[in-house]
Amino acid sequence: MQVGMALWGVAVLICAAVLGALLQKSRAAGRAVYAVCLLACLEIFAVGCWHLLADPGPATGMRLPVGLPWSGAHFRIDALAAFFLVVVNLGSAGASLFAIGYGRHEAAPGRVLPFYPLFLAGMNLVVLADDAFSFLVAWEFMSLSSWALVVAHHRDPDNTSAGYIYILMAGFGTLALLLAFGLLAGSTGAYTFAEMRAGGGSLPAVVLILALLGAGSKAGLVPLHVWLPLAHPAAPSHVSALMSGVMTKVAVYGFIRIVFDLNGPPAWWWSVLVIALAAITCVLGVLSALMQHDLKRLLAYHTVENIGIIFLGLGLALAFSSHGMQAPAALALTAALFHVLNHCLFKSLLFFGSGAVLTATGERDMEHLGGLIHRMPLTAFAFLVGCMAISALPPLNGFVSEWLTFQAILLSPMLPSWGLKLIVPAAGAMLALSAALAAACFVKAFGVTFLGRPRTPAAAEAVETDRASLAAMFAFAALCLLAGVVPGLVIDALAPVVQGLAGARMPQQSTLPWLSIVPVAESRSSYGGLLVFIFIAAATLLTIWAIHRFASHAVRRGPAWDCGFPDASPATQYTADSFAQPIRRVFGTVVFQAREAVDMPPPGDARPARLSVTLRDFLWDGIYAPVAQGVAVAAERLNHLQFLSIRQYLSLVFAALVGLLLVVAIWA
Amino acid sequence: MGVIVELLLQGLQMLAVLALAPLLLGFTRKFKARLLRRRGPPVLQPYRDLLKLIQKEAVVAENASWLFRSGPYLIFAATWAAAALVPTFATGLIFSWVGDLIVIIALIGSARFFLALAGMDIGTSFGGIGSSREMLFASLAEPAMIMIVFTVALVAGSTQLSSVAAYMQDNAALRVSLGLAAVALVIVAVAENARIPVDNPATHLELTMVHEAMVLEYSGRHLAMIELAAAVKLLLYVSLIACIFVPWGLAPAGSGPAAYAIGAASYVGKLLAGGFLLVLFETSIAKMRVFRVPQFLGVALMLGLLGTLLLFVSRSF
């Protein structure tokens, strides 16, 4: 029943894609396509909410006679799928609403309109799929349609190379998932998830690593993240929001589905791998983000950091549940899933904001922006809320999930194994470091883009964006506040998901006074988001009242003081690079081998002095460049095989046949 | 009836924090002047400064946005809310469960976020340099603080300050991990409050300023709010150190007036002692170069991490 309703929504999305392909020339048709997408996503969103919040009854499946002839395609909604349907369609609905306004500025709508609904349909199908075959088909569907959107603006050479790297990494990821499902299916070829769950898998550790490679490469786990900061900014902004805010969550879904649901329990030391990778991802993601001055690339790198936070929660849950500690596992898993929702909200919001800035000024480079708070006050406000949420500032939502992760870390001394005892506090320190660096990163992003004085005429003449885009941004900003102020309701809504995966749930939160949350016990830790919000609001209003009652009202506008030497040129302001310079010197010299070279002309020479900074991406230089070079060398060598004579080819075939027969003989 | 008394006590604490903060600042300035063999300004001078500032007109730069003008109120509100959550004279007040130690740190982080943004709003290079350096210091001080919280929480089994104080009162013992955390917390407190050797609150040389550079464009009532927020933050850190490491005298929940009086008296005593020790430390050390500060704060981070690691290895450290 519910599955059928969700699949109808997907069918509507596919029809919208056909509509978009047929009617790409007209502007009204573009808006109509996005509006249809919005409605379809809201419908599936409602189905997900209904399943998650109302009493769902047993999860019912559905079999469609498509796909493999002997098995068909299975679809099913359980609590986990319902939660991810909610997240995916919430983000997609927001992006569609934003695109109703933003799509008007699209230079080549024919390259976006047909693929956008397909992308949404693909992500929904991944979550709905209940057998390995449909899962992988939907996964590839999602990858290919998003690839088409990444190369939508294909005249830009950067975008084509981004698309190339993306499709390579997507292919690699799918290959890893294919092998993971192959291992889970075993020799009997049990492709449905129900059979896999019953079988339990023979090599849980290998499946875990393959899932980490496959889902991790889609999500952006270090060191498989290299495509992400290239591909996400290349797409149109509403698609960037979808790729960063939603598609990475589908990847997280894939990881959770395989590792927590289908796979048997792996030994505890594999969770050390997940936790270590997640912690490195956090810090490397945020440090890379700090080094950027392209607004959308900064946001994309920041997605890498947030994926690290999510995987840290998942790794902790894995560690706890491998030791049979179900209640802490439930806490860690709730923290991770809460962060999934939060990141979808604020990262989509921030990408919408960057899209609004892009249409208003034509600039993604922060060094060419500035002062937009005067020209685009509403966008600036919504973007500020997103910045606060992502920097984990109370009372917004990002803080709650990080707080829950910290609480889960504080429970980990109970873990008996030494490896975990040593790695978990280090991971906690890395998480704290990345949270603090995230605040610095978003002070930089907001401060350089929206504050100060405009650095270019384009920024000085920007105009506020359209109503549909603003509506999407403000809806998400409101949701960020709501999820931060009443976190207990979100935690309770997550309870059936966590119960199904970890075998336990967090205590009921919605009955507590003032909607506060108490993960373990009140004497241990508690957080009242609503009361913190009321405190801050009341203290602010009280102060404003007192100041206006007792203090002087006089305000004089004058030139900036600047210690008595104000300089009218906007070039004297701090830029994005100069803001990050201290952090680059402290952290970047180690992590990126950042080097500064000053070219100072000799006295009498009139040319300007130059400061150049070089950063090295050690992962690219250390892993990807050698692999690419190895492939190139191998291709060069193998090229000779194209020019052999027929006798040589026949002898090659014969040799291969003998070789294979030998292998078969030895194997037996 | 009981609820009203509890609400009154909570309100009293919030007002006490506000009223005592400039006094603590006045005392530290007086102590410092005496140590330098100057007479120093009167102890009540910070109050007079604040009064003078709120009576003056506010001069706002032409291109200041709404963020610049609303910033001081938000900064002050976030700092005040954080300070209200730290037990001063009594534990277990009615709203003490609203936030634990991590929430308090995050609230201070919120205030810093707005302060740094306000510093960038006018678009002057001094504001930018202040914001940039402040965020650098914060990026090390905040994780150090979280590690200190971990250490304390692992010892006391709680991140809730009231529970921590109760545990420390009952189970007073010298522990290696707590010693490390105490040193780290002092380092963080010095850095967070822009004191020597990290920053100089009395500097008049612009290039050495961090906190003062950010608020350079503020005047009148806006500056008053920022100064008051800074004073409250200093008080908050002294209260925090006192609450965790010398919790004696704190009145438990539901005790009589006598216990509250003892709590208040011991609290004032702790504030004076804390201010004096801070000044003693300040006068005996020179200010650091900016790029030495990360090493200084890195020590705090490593001490905190070491404390946490020791506790992960064995709860008896």
- Among A480, A446, A276, A481, which Cα is nearest to A369's? A446
Three-state secondary-structure class, residue A545 = helix
Q: Which amino acid is present at A386?
A: G
Q: Which whole number is the average pLDDT over A230-252?
A: 94
B11 lies within 8 A of chain A by CB: no
Of A88, A375, A351, A61, which is closest to residue A192 (Cα–Cα)?
A: A61
Cβ <8 Å between A582 and B136: yes
Task: Quote the strand ranges of chain B, DSSP E.
Answer: 58-61
Q: How many other C-beta atoms can be found within 10 angstroms of the C-beta atom of residue B36?
A: 10
Whether chain A has a CB inside 8 Å of the CB on B217: the answer is yes
Q: What's the CA gap between A316 and A277, in Å, rounded?
A: 12
**In terms of C-beta density within 10 A (0-12 exposed, 13-18 middle, 19 or more buried), how is residue B174 classed?**
exposed
A457, A452, A462: which is closest to A356 by C-alpha? A462
The mean predicted confidence, pLDDT, of chain A is 91
Question: Does residue A414 surpass a pLDDT of 80?
Answer: yes
Q: How many CA atoms lie within 13 A of B34 on its CB side?
A: 11
How do residues B73-126 score in pLDDT, each as one tens digit? 999 999 999 998 999 988 878 888 888 899 999 999 999 999 999 999 998 888
Query: What average pLDDT does this structure show over A500-504?
Result: 88
d(C-alpha A267, C-alpha A319), whole Å: 9
Please indicate whether, in this complex, the C-beta atoms of A421 and B107 are within 8 angstroms of each other: no
User: To the nearest whole percent, how much of chain B has pLDDT over 70?
Assistant: 98
pLDDT tier at B194 (50, 70, 90 boundaries)? Answer: confident
pLDDT tops 80 at residue A57? no
Neighboring chain B residues of A582 at a CB cutoff of 8 Å: 132-133, 136, 290-291
Q: What is the number of domains present in chain B?
A: 1
ipTM of the complex: 0.95
Taking an 8 Å cut-off on Cβ atoms, the answer to whether A524 and B132 are in contact is: no
The whole-angstrom distance between A556's CA and the closest CA on chain B is 5
Q: Does B216 touch chain A (CB under 8 A)?
A: yes
Query: Cα–Cα distance between A384 and A446 in angstroms, integer?
Result: 7
Q: Per the CB < 8 Å rule, is A532 touching B98?
A: yes
pLDDT at residue B206, as a whole number: 61
Which token pair is A334?
Answer: 């709730």
pLDDT band at B253 (very low <50, low <70, confident <90, very high): confident
* Interchain contact, A391 vs B109, CB within 8 Å: yes
Residues in chain B: 317
Strand, helix or coil for residue A616? coil
Instruction: Give the model's confidence band at A56: pLDDT under 50 very low, under 70 low, under 90 confident, else very high.
Output: low
For residues A462-481, give the mean pLDDT. Answer: 95
pLDDT of residue B250 exceeding 90, the answer is no
Sign of CA dihedral B27, B28, B29, B34: positive
pLDDT tens by residue, B153-163: 999 989 999 88
The enclosing H or E element of B280 equals helix B257-283
- Determine which of A84-88, A109-113, A141-145, A440-444 has the lowest per-residue pLDDT on average: A109-113
Helix, strand or coil, per DSSP, at residue A520: coil
Which residues in chain A have Cβ-Cβ distances shorter than 8 Å to B315?
A: 413
- Among B80, B106, B313, select the one facing A394 at the smallest CB separation: B106
- Residue A337 CA to residue B136 CA, distance in Å, equals 30
- Contact of B248 with chain A, judged by CB distance below 8 Å, is answered with no
The 3-state DSSP class for residue A55 equals coil
- Which residues in chain B are contacts of A522 at CB distance < 8 A? 97, 160
Query: What is the predicted pLDDT for the residue at B314?
Result: 82
**Which of A406, A535, A540 comes nearest B102 by C-beta?**
A406
Which structural domain, as residue segments, surrounds residue B278? 2-313
Please report residues of B whose CB lies closer than 8 A to that of A432. Answer: 142-143, 146-147
Task: Kindly tell me the burial class for residue A571, based on how many C-beta atoms sit within 10 Å of its own C-beta (0-12, 13-18, 19 or more).
Answer: exposed
Cβ–Cβ < 8 Å for A532, A540: no
Inspect the interface and report whether the beta carbons of A516 and B127 lie closer than 8 Å: no
pLDDT for B317: 78
Q: Which residue of A has its CA nearest to B315?
A: A413
Residues A231/A301, Cβ–Cβ less than 8 Å: no
Contact B313 A421 (CB under 8 A): yes
User: Average pLDDT of A502-523?
Assistant: 84
Predicted confidence (pLDDT) at residue B274 exceeds the cutoff of 90:
yes
The closest alpha carbon to A485, from A404, A394, A391, belongs to A394
Q: Are A546 and B224 spatial neighbours (Cβ–Cβ below 8 Å)?
A: no
Residues listed for chain A = 668
Query: Could A560 and B221 be called an inter-chain contact, meaning their C-beta atoms sit closer than 8 Å?
Result: no
Confidence of residue B204 (pLDDT cuts 50, 70, 90): low
Note whether A68 and A137 are within 8 A (CB).
no
pLDDT at A430: 94
The answer to pTM > 0.80 is yes
pLDDT of residue A200: 65
Instruction: Give A197's pLDDT tier (boundaries 50, 70, 90).
Output: confident
The pLDDT value recorded for residue A188 is 77
pLDDT at B2 over 80: no
Q: Scanning every residue of chain B, which has its alpha carbon at the shortest distance from the alpha carbon of A568?
A: B124
Contact: A540, B73; criterion CB under 8 Å? yes
pLDDT for position A360 = 93
A303: pLDDT strictly greater than 90: yes
Q: Which residues have C-beta within 8 Å of that of residue A244, sequence separation ≥ 6?
A: A232, A299, A300, A303, A347, A348, A351
For the residues A317-342, what does the mean pLDDT come to?
93
Let me know: does A277 contact A335? Beta carbons within 8 Å.
no
Does residue B150 register a pLDDT over 70?
yes
The CA distance from B56 to the nearest CA of chain A, in Å, is 6
What number of C-beta contacts closer than 8 Å exist between A and B?
282
DSSP conformation class of A572: G
Which of B80, B122, B143 lies nearest to residue A432, judging by beta carbons? B143
- Cβ distance of B98 and A527 shorter than 8 Å: yes
Comparing CB atoms, the residue among A388, A428, A578 nearest residue B128 is A578
Please, what is the end-to-end C-alpha distance for chain A in angstroms? 50
- Select the residue of B99, B126, B146 nearest A528 (Cβ to Cβ): B99
Burial of A438 per CB tally in 10 Å (0-12, 13-18, 19+)? buried
Q: Which residue of B has its CA nearest to A374?
A: B65
Q: Which of residues 39-98 of B touch A (CB under 8 A)?
A: 54-63, 65-67, 73-74, 76-78, 80-81, 84, 95, 97-98
Q: What pLDDT is stored for residue A60 in this prediction? A: 73
Q: What is the pLDDT of residue A523?
A: 79
For chain A, say whether B142 makes contact (Cβ under 8 Å).
yes
Mean of pLDDT values over B29-56: 93
Say how many C-beta atoms besides its own lie within 10 A of residue A58's C-beta: 6
Shortest CA gap A392–chain B (Å): 8
pLDDT number for residue A525: 87
The whole-number pLDDT of residue B148 equals 95
